[in-house]
Amino acid sequence: MLARTLLALALAQADTTAHAPPPSETLRYKFDAASELDDFDAIAGSWTISTGNLWCTSKGAREELRWRRDLSAAGSASVKLVGAGRVALALSTGKADSPQELLVRLDRGEQRIAVECGGKVLLERPFEPPASGPIALAVDWTLDHVLVRVGDDEPLRADRPACDAPFARLALLSMKSQPRFDDLVVVRETPAPRPETAPGEGPPPLGEDQRIAIERASKRIEAGDLDAAFELVAKSLPPAATGNDGAPAPLPEPVVVILERLGTLKPALKAKPPLKERVAAATVAAKDGSATLVLPLRSGWSATAPEIRRIDGPVFTLKCDAPKLEVEVYRYDQKLKYWFGRDPKIVYSTGGGGPTLGRARADDEKDQHPQSTLTRPFEKSKVELGGPTYEYELAWPDPEDPGRTRALRELFTLHRGDTWRVTIAGSPLDLDLARDDVEWLLSGFELAKD
């Protein structure tokens, strides 16, 4: 008897566990602090928080404030319309190949609620608005239908048109009115915790808070506020940690990309955490101490500093697996003579320095590659490698694969009597994909001052 009872209890518990709803989280916005707008992106129109409400201060046909966080396959959202207005809650799949959008429209003046999808009206009903005070609008959704409720009315069901993608984005819309919103509440399934990345397995995945910080930081960069952008990204990162080799723990690649961009645009930021530790770990010095460079922070880059047996030769060689690039830093002795081309021309760099030797090298490379084209003529560069710098770019059909193209970018500068050359070689596509990495590399290249 006891065994049967225990078995029945165990089966009942297993059945309850199997049908238990997934854990959920509730996110609330009272709209009483300007910082709450950090979770939203104004796609169209002007939006602000004032006197405890969210205001749409513009009056376009469709003003949109999009929630930056992700929705789950099943969830709910509710908001209060304060005063008059024509508004909507917009739910969209967020995918380019299935851009289904469902609108739950509420018009206080016409006293109607409607559900529309793809220009088709799925549901339309009148409702009795309160004489004064806010109107509560709530939407529950699953993959195949939505439930809509106005105030204390019974919920109304609208079936979604056939679609295999769950809703991913939520937005508040204002339509030819200037409404005020209050008490937005979004309920969604609790996002799965980020998996821990074992040493050597690559960077961790991007967290939701980090993604939002990157979106906000990108807008700060566009506005020219680099310090604010850097602070946003830095605050989204966990406390500094190091691996078994003492190197800083890896960061998600989108974080690394924006940190590199900020460090390139404003080199002073490289002296602040989290860039400070990573710059120190990625710094490579020449064997004779004549130069240093900072490797790009993205994975895939490697560098060697060859033994220097004479002053004329390579100082650094670098490689990247994806995009596939090769970089060489080479030093010429100004006291030597150089000859280039099939019909050798002797170039005396004395007195001309970097530009004279660089122009001769550009002519030689063009002569060496049939059907080559100068995609950037030899001219003064915006980059400065310790002094005035000149560069050119060259492209030519790949002799091993005529359907592909090879490219070469070379920069030259004169420093303490020697000409320095930086060569970046790969396909035009790879050069373009690695442009941020290359700019970071060039901005962190330093020649010895002593």
Q: Where in the chain is the domain with CATH 2.60.120.200?
A: 24-189
d(CA 265, CA 328): 23
Domain 286-447 has CATH 3.40.1000.10: yes
d(CA 188, CA 207): 16
Closest C-alpha to 51, from 31, 65, 36, 37: 31
pLDDT for 201 equals 60
**Whole-Å CA distances, 393 to 162, 320, 326:** 52, 19, 15
Closest C-alpha to 54, from 140, 172, 213: 172
| Phi-psi sector, 43: left (phi>0), alpha (psi -120 to 50), beta | alpha
pLDDT for 17 equals 47
pLDDT for 190 equals 82
Domain 24-189 has CATH 1.10.240.10: no
Contact 373, 394 (CB under 8 A): yes
Instruction: Please tell me whether the overall predicted TM-score, pTM, comes out greater than 0.85 for this model.
Output: no
Please name the helix (run of DSSP H) or strand (run of DSSP E) that holds residue 203, with its range, or none.
none
pLDDT for 349 equals 47
Q: Where in the chain is the domain with CATH 3.40.1000.10?
A: 286-447
Averages of pLDDT over each 10 residues, the chain, 450 residues:
51 51 88 94 96 94 96 95 94 78 94 92 91 92 94 92 88 95 94 57 82 94 96 88 66 93 95 94 94 93 88 90 94 64 51 74 89 94 91 93 91 89 95 94 90
Query: For residue 203, which amino acid is it?
Result: P
Q: Which residues pair with 420 in a beta bridge?
A: 331, 413
SS3 247: coil
pLDDT for 95 equals 66
